[in-house]
């Protein structure tokens, strides 16, 4: 076996994740078509947000927005924060993650282990653990803004920084296209910051691939990292989307479990949501086609939730 090249640091292991055909699962479900899964949960921070974290920090350092040893602050559900903890640690920047108490505690534990300072923000009145609402996120945003001012920090700002969608327009989507040998006909993604979908959709549109946005069916849902009901996401402005689908929390849970059981891919809630969306597409508008999804993060980040408490 040929050994992989020696990498100078762990950031060079971000990207170029494997693309896996979910043929066992599509056969089990009796679908006409294929689903291809981009396994970004195998990234060093166990999520697709490693790509955006690296792109934002590299861009900010190159432009002078981020000075040597300057502190970085960011709002996160845990995945962008984990990626930033890794990247900032390698490049010598203190990092402070600002996160809602509604997110699973594994995320905060991992960020702290990677050297980050973690500020947990109490949820809005009536908030439930495991469910982060738009109101919760607004409280986190206010805390992040205040902390950025107090520490004279650089704000990574995943919801606005153009390097977030660029990481997927220049990385994720071209990798999928090349790995699939141009066979993909559709792409769908559960919306968080909108960076993955916005960037990927712009690349895929140039190749005739239709991209679809996935949303939760209700404001109260367990799919952490997205579905905040935020209007006017910067990364989706002008993005060439073919349509919108809604995904229920129970369906995201069910498909995450099926993904683990039938394909050995241990993804989180958003991976289940993406799979649910791809299944719906192959049952309808994209029947007989090839739908690509991203396995956004690892199921290890949800062991304290009810995601794995029952059988598929």
The 10 Å CB-count burial string (b at 16+, else e) for 253-267 is bbbbbbbbebbebbb
Cβ atoms of 131 and 305 closer than 8 Å: no
Give the pLDDT score at 2.
61
CA-based nearest residue to 304, from 125, 76, 109, 47: 109
Q: Which residues of the chain have pLDDT under 50?
A: 1
pLDDT of residue 188: 98
pLDDT, tens only, 116-170: 999 999 999 888 887 888 899 899 999 999 999 999 999 999 999 999 999 999 9
Confidence (pTM): 0.94
70-103: burial string, b at 16+ Cβ within 10 Å, e else: bbbbbbbbbbbbbbbbbbbbbbebbbbbbbbbbb
What is the structure's pLDDT at 224? 87
Give the pLDDT confidence score for residue 23 in this predicted structure.
Answer: 98
pLDDT digits (tens, 9 = 90+) for 80-116: 999 999 999 999 999 999 999 998 899 999 999 999 9
């Amino acid at each position: 076996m040929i050994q992989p090249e020696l990498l100078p640091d762990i950031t060079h292991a971000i990207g170029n994740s494997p693309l896996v055909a979910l043929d066992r699962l599509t056969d089990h479900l009796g679908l006409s078509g294929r689903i291809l899964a981009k396994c970004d949960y195998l990234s060093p921070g166990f999520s697709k947000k490693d790509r955006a974290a690296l792109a934002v920090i590299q861009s900010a350092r190159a432009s002078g927005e981020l000075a040597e040893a300057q502190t970085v602050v960011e709002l996160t559900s845990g995945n962008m924060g984990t990626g930033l903890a890794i990247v900032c640690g390698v490049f010598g920047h203190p990092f402070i993650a600002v996160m809602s108490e509604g997110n699973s505690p594994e995320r905060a534990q991992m960020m702290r282990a990677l050297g980050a300072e973690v500020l947990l923000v109490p949820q809005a009145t009536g908030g439930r653990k495991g469910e982060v609402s738009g109101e919760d996120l607004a409280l986190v945003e206010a805390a992040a803004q205040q902390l950025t001012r107090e520490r004279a920090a650089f704000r990574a700002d995943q919801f606005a920084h153009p390097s977030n969608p660029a990481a997927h327009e220049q990385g994720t989507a071209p990798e999928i296209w090349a790995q699939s040998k141009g066979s993909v006909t559709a792409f769908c993604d559960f919306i968080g910051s909108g960076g993955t979908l916005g960037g990927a959709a712009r690349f895929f549109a140039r190749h005739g691939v239709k991209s679809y946005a996935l949303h939760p069916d209700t404001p109260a849902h367990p799919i952490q990292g997205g579905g905040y009901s935020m209007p006017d996401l910067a990364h989706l402005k002008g993005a060439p989307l073919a349509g919108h689908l809604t995904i229920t929390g129970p369906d995201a849970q069910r498909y995450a479990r099926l993904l683990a059981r039938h394909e050995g891919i241990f993804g989180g809630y958003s991976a289940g949501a993406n799979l649910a969306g791809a299944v719906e597409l192959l049952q309808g508008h994209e029947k007989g086609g090839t739908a690509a999804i991203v396995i956004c993060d690892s199921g290890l980040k949800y062991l304290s939730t009810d995601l794995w408490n029952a059988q598929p």
